[in-house]
Amino acid sequence: MNPSTAGACLAAGLALYGNVKTETISGYAEFRRGDTVIVEGQRVLATSTTKVKGAKRIADIPLGYEVKASGQRNASGVLIAQQIEAKANSTGGTEQQVIAASNEAEQTWVKEGMMFEPADSGKITKIGDLLESGPYVTRARRIMDRLRPSYLPASALRVRVVKTDQWNASAMANGAIWVFSGLMDAMDDDELAIVLGHELTHFTHEHVRRQMSKGTVAQILGTGASIATSQIKNSTAQQVAAFGGQLGLSALMTGYSREYEDQADRVGLRYVYEAGFDPTKGPGLWEKFKQKYGETDKITNFFTGDHSRPTERIHNLQRQIQLNYTTPAPPPPKRE
Ligand SMILES: [Zn+2]
């Protein structure tokens, strides 16, 4: 790689003005610490010259609002904003459809007491029994409740544990978060917080809705469903097929793009840090995944997604730790 090519790689996603890089981040205002607002896991600070759209001042932006901020990082990793745009988080018609489909899937699994998916043969493939109470459920829900940003009510989330040795976790658009007991056995509380923080980000940052084009949703709720229903004889599996079919189930729970997987890693670390868990265990967690499943996971894995590989994620997490988490978190701010 010649030096000019290397420069182009480093500048990806950044606009260059002279020697100063302007960086743009898009996410939600999620925490406030003094004058600093946290957006997409990053600390954003306004100055007297910052242009703020959608609010009078940065301090007036309600937590939970969608925010786009551009500016330059200072030496300690804070983004000094030149421009900030804030707007209320809106709910689209498509989102309602996806949430309804997710509710149906969740309710079917809860009613049957297990997670399963329809298979090509017309039978179902059982993934594992659902645990609705006991130490696994208590532990997962206790950690998730600490991670939850203040603008999100506790009632928005339902953490459910699936009894299986596999390592996996996933989030649905309706706030149902699934975690497998095998993964919980292998992780300490800090590591489990990193996994759950990642999944929580898929929900708070609305990745299901953002990833689906309207055409995809129509396919999931229409054609895909009718094909699957006609293939499946088992009545329980038919119910699953009715909400999404074989195409739909995977689209409801997995298949996030690299962009969203990386965002979930970044923002998830922020949740972990703000809740008083240890974000520096992120790279080690991915080492564990690499040892267990290798660099390229052949099995579709909800948690690992299709694109970002462990080595790449370790690198990205190390950069986040260096930018944002070299000092231990002060006590969590009171919930608003
Ligand atoms: Zn993910």
Q: Is residue 105 part of a domain?
A: yes
State residue 226's pLDDT score: 37
Per the structure, the count of domains in the chain is 2
Query: pLDDT above 90 covers what percent of the chain?
Result: 50
Separation of CA 198 and ligand 1 centre (Å): 6
Are 220 and 117 part of one and the same domain?
A: yes
pLDDT at position 232 over 70: no
Separation of CA 54 and ligand 1 centre (Å): 30
Of 222 and 24, more confident: 24
Are 129 and 210 part of one and the same domain?
A: yes
State residue 120's pLDDT score: 58
Are 78 and 102 part of one and the same domain?
A: no
Domain span holding position 260: 93-324
pLDDT at position 99 over 60: yes
Are 65 and 146 part of one and the same domain?
A: no
Are 110 and 161 part of one and the same domain?
A: yes
Residue range 211-237: average pLDDT? 47
Q: Is residue 36 part of a domain?
A: yes
Write the pLDDT tens digit of every residue in 27-50.
999 999 888 999 999 999 999 999
Computed over every residue of the chain, the mean pLDDT equals: 79
State residue 124's pLDDT score: 72
Are 168 and 217 part of one and the same domain?
A: yes
Are 173 and 296 part of one and the same domain?
A: yes
Separation of CA 299 and ligand 1 centre (Å): 15
Separation of CA 302 and ligand 1 centre (Å): 6
**What separation in angstroms does the CA of 76 have from each of 42, 43, 49?**
11, 10, 20
Are 141 and 74 part of one and the same domain?
A: no
Are 250 and 232 part of one and the same domain?
A: yes
Are 82 and 207 part of one and the same domain?
A: no
Separation of CA 268 and ligand 1 centre (Å): 10
**Residues 36, 78: Cα–Cα separation, whole Å:** 9
pTM passes above 0.85: no
Separation of CA 207 and ligand 1 centre (Å): 9
Separation of CA 303 and ligand 1 centre (Å): 5
Residue range 48-70: average pLDDT? 94
